[in-house]
């Protein structure tokens, strides 16, 4: 399974294997100790097989202690089920043959089938099919060796083989189900990671709780924010690739943190820029105010980052931000196995246009007339002018926060104060 989902699936599977391996290493000494105690209580401590049990117990304790200290030892210790446990049980039982009557020898051979079945089931916990099959093959070979030695009947031999084969088949089914469960867990984990990547923590938690409500598109009034690094393409041509990626990661990390602090939703990264929106998927009556405050906070955070670069002798950076308010369709869009929450519509297009116009107006933040009217009188916005926009019959008013507006619009006319 390639891609991020595959990596998460492998991580979940590996985590499950390590957990199961630690359980196996904890159960092994308990089981061996129980059998050793039974032999001592029944007066069979003089049997040579009892000495094998004592050595078996010592090795099992060492494996348990080492697996607690090292995940690698825990993973590798799963080889012990087919290649240590099964042979150890066989050796113990083989050595015990001949110390009692013929009937007791046959009882030992038949009884060994039980521990072999238990070990086959335990081998399934490794979630490795070849280890399960290895344990089954060895169990068949060793069980037949014991039964041939004691002269067991043909029905006894065939019955043992059939029982082990059925046990392996059932354990194979259990492995398949367990792997399928791990895949579902990995898909859920990937879904949650995507939610927390694009939404603020509170919004992500709400979507996780009421996911069905957000699975279809909704027409919402939102404020869309586009940001971009001005002149980054030219700058990146003179920087090594690792430095380009490092710079982008640092900028995006700071900008997204600001978006989340103000309750916004990260829609997507667009190269050196990003798109975010406010007012969805959770309704925020003050979405325009949040967006404008977020834009100002982004400007300040970016200014600090740029100043730090200049102090290091590096090139200064320039940020541009555009805002627009209106209705848009918000919902999960994309292929069935890879959907993303996004906003689409003319409102989004005009927000992108506002960001692009910052170059014409030489401003850091530009706000459309709709956003200016929505924020009300709480912000000092200045009208920089009007601009025609493709697809609109009327020109769009362009505003900027008063302290960051250009002294003149593109036509050279001074900006005028506008009450929202």
pTM for this prediction? 0.57
Reported confidence tier of residue 86, pLDDT bands at 50, 70, 90: very high
pLDDT score recorded for residue 259: 93
Q: Is 38 helix (H, G, I), strand (E, B) or coil?
A: helix
Cα atoms in the Cβ-side hemisphere of radius 13 Å centred on 248: 18
> Can you tell me which residue has the tokens 């051979």?
109
Q: What is the pLDDT of residue 338?
A: 63
Tell me how far apart the alpha carbons of residues 213 and 197 are, in angstroms, rounded to a whole number: 20
**Burial class of residue 129 (count of CB atoms within 10 Å of its CB; 0-12, 13-18, 19+):** middle
Phi, psi (5° rounding) for residue 42? -85, 5
pLDDT at 116 over 90: yes
Output the six-digit token pair for 140.
């068949």
The rounded distance, in Å, linking the Cα atoms of 78 and 160 is 25
What is the pLDDT, as a whole number, of residue 2? 46
173, exposed or middle or buried, with CB in 10 Å at 0-12, 13-18, 19+?
A: exposed
337 versus 244: the higher-pLDDT residue is: 244
Start-end ranges of CATH 3.30.70.1230 in the chain? 213-417
CA distance 109 to 152: 8
Top CATH class of 213-417 equals alpha beta
**Averaged pLDDT of the chain:** 83
pLDDT-above-70 percentage for the chain: 85
Q: In angstroms, what is the C-alpha Rg of the chain?
A: 35
Q: What is the pLDDT of residue 416?
A: 40
Query: If DSSP codes are grouped into helix, strand and coil, which group holds residue 387?
Result: strand
Q: Are 265 and 199 in contact (CB under 8 A)?
A: yes
Residue 6 has pLDDT above 80, yes or no: no
């Amino acid at each position: 399974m390639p891609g991020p989902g595959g990596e998460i699936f492998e991580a979940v599977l590996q985590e499950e294997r390590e957990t199961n391996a630690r359980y196996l290493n904890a159960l092994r000494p308990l089981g061996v100790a129980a059998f050793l105690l039974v032999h001592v209580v029944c007066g069979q401590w003089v049997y040579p097989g009892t000495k094998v049990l004592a050595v078996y117990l010592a090795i099992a304790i060492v494996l348990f202690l080492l697996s607690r200290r090292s995940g690698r030892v825990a993973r590798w210790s799963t080889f012990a089920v087919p290649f240590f446990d099964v042979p150890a049980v066989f050796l113990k039982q083989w050595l015990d043959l001949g110390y009692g009557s013929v009937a007791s020898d046959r009882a030992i051979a038949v009884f060994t089938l039980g521990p072999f079945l238990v070990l086959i089931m335990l081998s399934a916990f490794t979630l490795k099919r070849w280890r399960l099959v290895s344990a089954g093959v060895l169990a068949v070979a060793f069980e037949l060796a014991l039964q041939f030695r004691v002269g067991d009947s043909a029905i006894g031999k065939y019955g043992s083989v059939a029982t082990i084969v059925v046990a392996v088949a059932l354990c194979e089914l259990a492995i398949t189900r367990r792997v399928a469960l791990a895949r579902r867990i990995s898909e859920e984990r990937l879904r949650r990671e995507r939610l927390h990547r694009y939404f603020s923590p509170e919004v992500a938690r709400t979507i996780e709780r009421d996911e069905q409500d957000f699975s279809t598109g909704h027409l919402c009034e939102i404020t869309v924010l586009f940001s971009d690094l001005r002149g980054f393409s030219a700058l990146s041509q003179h920087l090594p690739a690792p430095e380009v990626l490092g710079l982008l990661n640092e900028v995006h990390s700071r900008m997204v943190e600001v978006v989340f602090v103000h309750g916004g939703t990260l829609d997507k990264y667009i190269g050196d820029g990003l798109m975010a929106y406010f007012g969805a998927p959770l309704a925020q009556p003050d979405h325009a105010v949040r967006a404008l405050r977020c834009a100002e906070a982004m400007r300040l955070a970016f200014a600090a980052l740029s100043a730090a670069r200049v102090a290091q002798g590096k090139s200064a950076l320039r940020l541009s931000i555009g805002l627009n308010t209106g209705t848009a369709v918000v919902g999960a869009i994309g292929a069935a196995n890879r959907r993303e929450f996004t906003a689409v519509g003319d409102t989004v297009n005009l927000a992108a246009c506002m960001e692009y116009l910052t170059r014409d107006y030489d401003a850091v933040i530009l706000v459309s007339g709709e956003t200016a009217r929505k924020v009300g009188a709480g912000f000092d916005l200045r009208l920089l002018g009007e601009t025609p926009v493709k697809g609109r019959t009327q020109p769009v008013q362009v505003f900027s926060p008063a302290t960051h507006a250009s002294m003149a619009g593109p036509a050279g006319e001074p900006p005028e104060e506008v009450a929202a």
